[in-house]
Each structure stands twice: as C-alpha cells, then as structure tokens.
Amino acid sequence: MSLLVLSVFTGGYLPPPMPSVPMPVPEQAPNPPVWHIPSISEDRARQAFSTYVSSKCCYSSAPVREGVITNMESFNTYRYRLETFKESRSTEWSQEPYAGQPVDAGVQPAPGPWQIAAQSPAFFQEHKQTIKVPYTSSVKNCHLCLGMGRNPCTTCAGAGNKVCQMCNGSGYRHSNDRCTHCNGRGRENCSSCSGRGSCQCDTCRGKGKLLVFINLNVKWSIEKDEFVAQDSSGLRVKKLEEVSGKELYKDAQYMVYPVRGFPDASVAQASERLVRDHQVKYAQTSRILQQRQTIELIPITKVNYMWKGKPNVYYVYGNEFKVNADDYPATCCCSVM
C-alpha cells in the first residue's frame, strides 16, 4: 500500500512492517540475587526525624527532644519498573507557499512510511523528527484566495475606506469647519489594507499557489509502568514515588524476558504481566527498539516512640531518609497576616 493511500488514515500511528529477517531472541537473564538492606540506627532515625520537624513551621521540636524510641521495625519493599523505548510513525498532509520549490509527485512511487531513513537518538532518549516524504509534492491554487494572492480586507469589508473617525462621517468639525483629516469626504482610507480593499493572503503569502506534500512524523518515546510490592508497614505506597531505592537488578536488551525466581512472587508476577502487556500494546503500532527492567529495594523503617505517655509513630524511608509523620503530636495553628 502506498503512502498516499495510508495518509488518508489520520489521527493514528502506522503499523511497522513485518521484519525481513528473524527478530532477535531475548537473552535469558540470570536470577537476581537476594539482597537485604541493614536497619538504620536510632541516631539516624532521630536525625531524620529532627530534619523533618525543623522543616515544618507549625511543628514543635519537643517530641524530637523528649520522645523515647520504643521499637523500630524494618520493611524492605520492592519496586519493579519496565520501560519500552519505541519508534512510532504517522503521516499528514502539509502545505507551504509555492515559491519555485521542486515538484516531484508522480515521478516515481512514494516510499512507504517505514522505508524512509530517520536518524534515531540514543536508547531511552525521547525525540521527534519531521521528514518531507519524497515524490509527494504537487502545486495547487490557494483554496482561500482562489489563486489571487489576496483576500478582501475584513476591517473595511473590501471597500478600501471607512467612516472618518475625526468627523464621524459628516465631513465637518466644529460647526462649519471642513474636516482636514478626510478633506471633507467623511471617509478615510483603511489603514489595514492601505485603501486597496484587499490584503495579502496569509496562507499563500501572496503567491496564489501552494506546494502540497506529505510529512512523515517520527516519534521516539518511552513507555513506563511500575509495580510496588505491598508491605505491612502501614506507609502509603504513594509516598514511595518521592524516593529512590537500592538497585538490585537491571536488564536491558531488545526484548526482555520476565523476571524469574525472584524472592517476592508478586514482583515476578508483575514482571510477567507487564512484559506481556507491553508486547501486545506497543508492537502493533510501533517498532520496539529496546526494553529495560529494573528492581529497586526501598528501605522503610517504622519508628515507634513515646511522648508524654502516649505512643506515636513515624516512618523513615528511601535512600533519602525521608520522613512521614501524619499524626505528629505537637502542632500549632499558624496564620499569615
């Protein structure tokens, strides 16, 4: 099917052709090792807590100074991420004022959308490129000005003049004094069209003709999905989006296999589901160039402490030692005057 035929299908990406040579088989990656992150010390937990509280204008530092840590529980949460780097192509009709550019439509058949060479960026770098498709350029009269190069002036409705602003069309000012602005005519030349009644056509820029051709739009993009293994710490999973973890496993190749034999069965199941979903979802309309999957271990420490005889909790999580303390026991109301 020629590009001219394909171009009528607007608003979607064009499926890549079947490969002429066998597609490479993904390499079976070894099972990831079992990792464990040591628990943080009480001093580190208290330091992170102090930094967090000092950043809050309405938080008293008394629980940090006076609170007594009674228990610390460690939870290691896995985050699996799958990224697919793909190339998509679509076509659209385009036009520009004709000023003698080469016209090649009909010289020979236009190449298909996936037959045109495009310089792809490095893997996992998003980019866009627009290419004028060879042998699709033709010339036609401008459809807005009907090949005249000019359109009726919208300010004066094509009259070339309008009511004089100084005398409101009477031709006189201050009783019987003739208006000097319009020489008594009551009308003045239109400034928008300089009295011609028409203006240069913006579409063809006064040329009267348009070069019509097909543009190929090439887009390199990254599709990403994540899965966070649930834990019993009580910290909301949404909070983990703010932090990084220790990278345990990384696999990058043309097409990845699902992770096998991982200690947490939910991570292996998520890997199998997302790898399958990416293949089904993106291979139909795009060319998959590279895939990458990673597993991070995000440390979470639940800190239980007593202050004024009452139990309280805060969390220290991620490589950044961020703190979450939703029910901080010593807050005050602040107002900005």
Predicted confidence (pLDDT) per residue in 65-83, tens digit: 999 999 999 988 999 999 9
d(CA 278, CA 23): 17
CA dist list (Å): 269 to 229, 258, 263, 266, 306: 11, 8, 11, 5, 40
**What integer pLDDT is reported at residue 284 of this predicted model?**
87
Residue that has been written with the tokens 């580190």 in this structure: 44
Distance separating alpha carbons of residues 251 and 228, to the nearest angstrom: 18
| pTM beyond cutoff 0.85 | no
What pLDDT band is residue 24 in, cutting at 50, 70 and 90?
Answer: low
How many alpha carbons lie under 13 Å from residue 138 in its C-beta half-sphere? 10
Residue 132 CA to residue 32 CA, distance in Å, equals 47
Residue 330 is given by DSSP the state: -
Q: What is the pLDDT of residue 10?
A: 47
CA distance 257 to 284: 19
Tens of pLDDT, residue by residue over 156-186, are: 998 999 989 888 888 888 777 888 888 888 8
Cα 147 to Cα 93, 140, 156, 198, distances in angstroms: 19, 8, 22, 14
Return mean pLDDT, the chain: 88
Residue 1's pLDDT band, with cuts at 50, 70 and 90, is very low
For position 287, what pLDDT does the model report? 94
Answer with the residue of higher pLDDT: 111 or 1: 111
Q: Are strands 310-317 and 287-307 parallel, antiparallel or unpaired?
A: antiparallel
State yes or no: pLDDT of 137 exceeds 70. yes
